Structure 1
Amino acid sequence: MLDQQSVANSDERRRLGSWYTPPALIERMLNLLTSDGWSVEPASDKMRVLDPSCGDGRLLLAVKNRMPRRCSLIGCDVNPQTRKSNEAHGIEFVEANGLDIDWAAFHSEQGFDLVVSNPPFLSQLSASTSRKGASARGGGPYANSAMEFCLAGVEALRPGGRLAIVLPQSVLASRDTAELRARVTSLATPVTSWWSSSPQFDADVTVAVLVFERRKTFVEGSDAPWTSAITTALGIPPIPTLYTSGVVGDRATATANFRDEYYALVPAVADHHNGPPLVTSGLIDPGACLWGTHPVRFAHQLFTAPRVDVALLTGRFSEWAHKMLRPKVLVAAQTRTIEAVADERGEWLPGVPVTTVIPSELDDLLPLAAVINSPIAALIAWHERAGTGLSPTSLRLSPTLILELPWPQHQFNAEIVSQLARSEQHTFGIEMCAAFGVAGDEAELITTWWRTAGQLRRKRASPMGKNPSSVD
C-alpha cells in the first residue's frame, strides 16, 4: 500500500485530514461488522462496497480479503496520488470529494451493501481545515466534517446494508453535530460501537468505531449523543429510572468565565492580603475548597494563597467581581465526576473556566451543591457529554448542562453535602441516590463507580509545599 509519509508533508496531510487506518483498527472495524451475526455469506451477486474517503484503499482491500463473497470495490478520494495504489488492487477509483456524489444512485444501482470509512478529521476551529460556514448537510458551524461522511455513508446504503466508520470522539456529543446525528438515525439503526482512550494513529485523536444498519423505512431521528461507545468502555453504569421534579435551572442561574475574565485577572492576582481568594478548578473538591492549603498555578505562576486585588481590575471587570461576591456554588472544569463547592459567605472569586451557579433563593444554596455533586448528576453528565473533555476521560461541563440536571423528587437533608468534606462519599452517594428514587444494588453500583472515578482526581491534589494541584 502507499506509504503514509509519501502523502506530501505533515501540513498537507493535516489540511486533507489524511490519516491512514492502522491494521489493528481495520481488524477491529471488520470484527464489529459481523459481531452480531450479520450475514456476509457467498451469494450469486457481488457485494458492493464503498469507501467515500479511501486514501490508499487499505480499508477496501481488507474487506476484499476478509469477506467470503466476491466484492465490487469503489473508492473515492480528493488526492490524485492515491489513484495508482487503488487501481493496482482492483478498486474502481473516483477522484472527487466523496461528499459531492450521489452514491445511492451511483452507476444506476440501488445503493451499497457495505460502506467503510475513516473519513478526514477536519476541525472547523482551524483556518486551514475550516469549510468557512455550516455544513450543507446540516449541523452547526463547528461540526467536524467526519460527521458529514457518516451521513453520506448511510445515505449510500441499500436497506439492510451497513456502515462501519471511524469517528473522532468529539462528534459523539457535540452540540454542532446534533442535527447530523438526528439525520443519521432517521435513516439507520446503531448496531454496535467500540472506543479506546488511547490514540489509534498519527492524528493523535481519540476515536470510536460505530456500525449502523440502513433502515427499510424513514423514521424520526434522534439528536441524542452517541456516547455509549465511551460509557460502556469506561464501565459507567446506565442511567436508571429516576424520580425527578424539575431541573437545577428552576432554582438557579449559571455562568462561566472565559478569556476576557482571565486576562483581566492576571495583573490583579498575587499572594497578598488584599482582596477575595481566587478559586480555580484545581482548588475545588466535592464539598470542599482547598484554597490556602494547596498551591495552585495561575497564568504560569505558582501561588500559595492567591487573592484578587479588585482595585486593579479595569473596565467592566470591577463590576463583574462585585457581582460574583455573593453566595454561590463553584463547579470545576475538566474532571472525572462533577466537583462543586458552596461559597456560603460569598467570599471567593471564580477562576477560569470555573462555572458559577447562583441560587435564586439563598435557602437553595446547599441543596444545589448536593444535587450538583451527586452521583446521579455525574452519571447523567457522562451519558450526555462523554468525549467532550480535553482528555479522553474527563468531562467538559457547560452552564447549560448544569442547569439541565434534574432535581430529585424526594426530600433530602441538604446538610449531607458536608459529608463530602469529611470524606464520607459513600454515605452521601447512597442518600442522594435515594433522593432520586434509586436504592439497593443500583445505588451501590452507581455510588461505587462515582467514588472510584472521583478518587483518581483527588489523588492529584497536593498539600502545601508539594506539586501544585492545578494548572490554569
Structure 2
Amino acid sequence: MARSTEADEAADAYERHLAIHERDRRRAQGSFYTPAELVEWVLDHALPERGRVLDPACGTGHFLVAAARRLGVRAVHGSDLDPDAVRIARERLHALDPTVPPAEIADRVRVADGLVAWEDGSFDAVVGNPPFLGQLRRHSAGQSEAHRRGLGAYTDTSAVFLRRALDLVVPGGTVALVQPISVLAARDAGPVRAAVAERGAVTDFWCSDRPVFDGTTVLTCVPVVRAGATPPTDPDAWGTLAAPGFGIPGVVLPAGTGALGDLATCTADFREQYYGLAPFVHDHLPGGTPLVTTGLIDPAESRWGSAPTRFARRQYDAPAVDLAALRADGAFARWAEARLVPKVLVAGQGRVIEAVVDEAGAWLPSVPVVSVVPHDRGDLWRLLAVLLAPPVVAHAAARYLGTGLAPGSVKVSARQLAALPLPADVDAWGEGAELAQRAQAAGASERAGLLVAAGRVMTAAYAGGDDVHAWWAARVRRTDDSGGTDRSAPA
C-alpha cells in the first residue's frame, strides 16, 4: 500500500489551521493531536498481529492511518464529532489503499460520538487520544451521559472514554488511550481505575514529565490495559507507574505499624470556612489571631509575619482574625474553638509535605491547610517527624502523582494523611521528633542542617535508603531557597 502523502499533508494543514485560527475552539473541544512518535509507541504496545482496531475519537486519523499501515485499511474503525476531521481521515485511508471503496471506509469511520457509536462493536484493540474535558465542559450530551453514571462530577472525558473502551474490547484485547496524568490519582477518576482493575490490568505504561501537545500545558500518560490480565495487589496505586519518570525513588513502607490516623484527627476545611472568615480578617491587627495560609507553611517553619500571602483575593503581610468579632457573629465561633488547639498544620501541596507545629494552639488555618490534631498532645513532634520523613514523602509523591497544581508537587488530602503508615523503629522516631522540634525552634541558618539530620534519622526509622533521603533533602533545600510559594485557594 502506498503512503497517503497528499491526504497526510491535508491533515497537517487542517491541524495547523486549528492551531493558528481556532485555538479557542480546539481547547473548548479538548482536541489536541498526537505526535507521531507517541502514536507509534501506543501501536507498538497495543496493536494485535491481526484483528479489528478502534479509535473512538480519531480526529484526522493519525492512529487509524498508522494502524492501517500495519494491519490494512479494513482493520481500522473510528469516529469523531468533527466532520471536517472525519472527512480528512477517510481521504487518508482511501489514499493509503484505493482498492477499498470510499463508502466502505465511510461506514468504518463515522461522524459520531465515540462513547455511543459502537454499541454493537467488538474490537481487539481500542487506541487513541480522546478529548481532555471535565464534566463541566462536556464532550457531548444525550446518550453519552449514560456512560458517565457512577463517575465523579469532575471525571475527565478522556477517563470516561477509557472506561467505555473496556466494554468494547474482546477478552485478551488491549486498550491504550492517552490520558491526562491526573487519571493516576484524582479522586473522580477512582471509579475508572477500579473498572480497569475489575476487567484487567495495566501491563505497559508511558508518561512524560513535560507537555507533548502543542497549545496545552497538560501532562499526559498512556496506561496500556490488557483485558483479563491479573491486576496488581494495589490497583489504585497507578501513580507509582509514573514515579520513575519524575525522578521519585521507590519505597516500601512498613506494614502493621499503624497509621497516622491512629494518633491524630486530620481535618480539612472548605469553601464555607474560607469565605466565612473573610469579613473578620485584617492586616497587622493588634491582638489578632494569626491566619496561616498554605503558602506560609514550610517544613518545620511558619512564615507568618515574615512573608506576604494572599487570602480571599487580597494580599496581606500579617493576616489576623478578629476573634472577638467572629465569636460575636456566632456562625464560625464553634469552628474557631475546634481549631484553636495544639496541632500540626499541613500545607495543601508543596515540593515535600510541608508541615509545622502550632504548639500553643494559637493559629487558625486557611483553606486548604489540613489540621492534624493529636489525641495526645505529647505526640505533636512525633507527628511532625512522620510528615517530614523522606520515605513517607516519596510514598505520597508517587501514590498521588498528578493531583497537584505543578508537576512533581506533593498534594495529600486529610484522608490520605491519616492513612500514612507509622515507622517501625520507635527509637529512631523519637530521635527524629527531637530533631524536628529543634529545627522548628532554630533560626534560618541552623534549620536547614537540622531538617536534613531529622530526615536522615526518619529515613532510618522507615528502613529507607540513601537515595530517598538525598531526593528529599534536595527538594527541601529548593523549598527553602525559593522562600515558599502561595498556594491558598478554597477547596
Within 1, Cα distance between the matches of 2:277 and 2:209?
A: 35
1:100 partnered with 2:116: yes
Which position in structure 1 is the counterpart of 2:397? 382
Within 1, Cα distance between the matches of 2:145 and 2:110?
A: 26
Per the alignment, in what secondary structure is the counterpart of residue 232 of structure 1?
helix
- Contact 1:135–1:141 at 8 Å: present in 2 too? no
Which position in structure 2 is the counterpart of 1:205? 218
1:48 partnered with 2:59: no
Which position in structure 1 is the counterpart of 2:377? 362
1:294 partnered with 2:307: yes
Per the alignment, in what secondary structure is the counterpart of residue 316 of structure 1?
coil
User: Structure 1-normalised TM-score?
Assistant: 0.85
Query: In the TM superposition, what are the counterparts of 1:216-255 in structure 2 within 5 Å?
Result: 223-255=235-267
Opposite residue 27 of structure 1, the aligned amino acid is E
Q: 1:471 to 1:408 in 2, by over 3 A?
A: closer
Within 1, Cα distance between the matches of 2:141 and 2:348?
A: 27
Within 2, Cα distance between the matches of 1:181 and 1:82?
A: 30
Within 1, Cα distance between the matches of 2:355 and 2:256?
A: 21
Which position in structure 1 is the counterpart of 2:83? 80
Please state how far the C-alpha of 1:323 moved relative to its aligned partner: 2.3
Within 1, Cα distance between the matches of 2:231 and 2:410?
A: 31
Deviations 1:148-194, CA, capped at 9 Å, x for gaps: 21133344334443332210111211222222212223333322222
Query: In the TM superposition, what are the counterparts of 1:307-386 in structure 2 within 5 Å?
Result: 307-313=320-326, 314-386=329-401
Per the alignment, in what secondary structure is the counterpart of residue 197 of structure 1?
coil
Q: 1:287 to 1:12 in 2, by over 3 A?
A: same
Within 2, Cα distance between the matches of 1:128 and 1:219?
A: 30
Of 6, 23, 33 in structure 2, the residue corresponding to residue 20 of structure 1 is 33
Of 65, 88, 91 in structure 2, the residue corresponding to residue 61 of structure 1 is 65
1:115 partnered with 2:126: yes
Within 2, Cα distance between the matches of 1:367 and 1:130?
A: 51
Please state how far the C-alpha of 1:210 moved relative to its aligned partner: 2.3
Deviations 1:324-378, CA, capped at 9 Å, x for gaps: 1110000011212101011111111112211111111111211111112211221
Q: 1:265 to 1:118 in 2, by over 3 A?
A: same
Which position in structure 1 is the counterpart of 2:99? none
- Contact 2:381–2:437 at 8 Å: present in 1 too? no
- Contact 2:126–2:165 at 8 Å: present in 1 too? yes
Q: 1:222 to 1:293 in 2, by over 3 A?
A: closer
Q: 1:427 to 1:219 in 2, by over 3 A?
A: closer
Q: 1:219 to 1:234 in 2, by over 3 A?
A: closer
Within 2, Cα distance between the matches of 1:471 and 1:241?
A: 29
User: Structure 2-normalised TM-score?
Assistant: 0.82
Deviations 1:277-314, CA, capped at 9 Å, x for gaps: 22121221111212223333333444333322213333
Within 1, Cα distance between the matches of 2:133 and 2:362?
A: 44
- Contact 2:185–2:402 at 8 Å: present in 1 too? yes
Deviation larger for 83-92 or 9-18 = 9-18
Within 1, Cα distance between the matches of 2:487 and 2:391?
A: 28
Opposite residue 76 of structure 1, the aligned amino acid is S
Q: 1:425 to 1:135 in 2, by over 3 A?
A: farther
- Contact 1:283–1:289 at 8 Å: present in 2 too? yes
Number of aligned residues: 446
Of 453, 468, 476 in structure 2, the residue corresponding to residue 446 of structure 1 is 468
Of 266, 272, 286 in structure 2, the residue corresponding to residue 273 of structure 1 is 286
Within 2, Cα distance between the matches of 1:352 and 1:192?
A: 38
- Contact 1:183–1:221 at 8 Å: present in 2 too? no
Opposite residue 274 of structure 1, the aligned amino acid is G
Deviation larger for 7-16 or 239-248 = 7-16
Deviations 1:392-422, CA, capped at 9 Å, x for gaps: 2213321111111112233121322125442
Which position in structure 2 is the counterpart of 1:144? 156
Within 2, Cα distance between the matches of 1:429 and 1:14?
A: 43
Q: 1:32 to 1:72 in 2, by over 3 A?
A: closer
- Contact 1:64–1:70 at 8 Å: present in 2 too? yes
Unaligned runs of 5+ in 1: 463-468
Opposite residue 416 of structure 1, the aligned amino acid is L
Q: 1:139 to 1:40 in 2, by over 3 A?
A: closer
Which position in structure 2 is the counterpart of 1:432? 458
Within 2, Cα distance between the matches of 1:219 and 1:274?
A: 57
Within 2, Cα distance between the matches of 1:367 and 1:11?
A: 51
Opposite residue 428 of structure 1, the aligned amino acid is A
Deviation larger for 237-246 or 219-228 = 219-228
Higher helix share: 2
Opposite residue 369 of structure 2, the aligned amino acid is V
Which position in structure 1 is the counterpart of 2:480? 458
Please provide the CA RMSD for this pair.
3.0
Which position in structure 2 is the counterpart of 1:214? 227
Q: 1:193 to 1:140 in 2, by over 3 A?
A: same
Q: 1:78 to 1:174 in 2, by over 3 A?
A: same
Of 41, 44, 47 in structure 2, the residue corresponding to residue 34 of structure 1 is 44
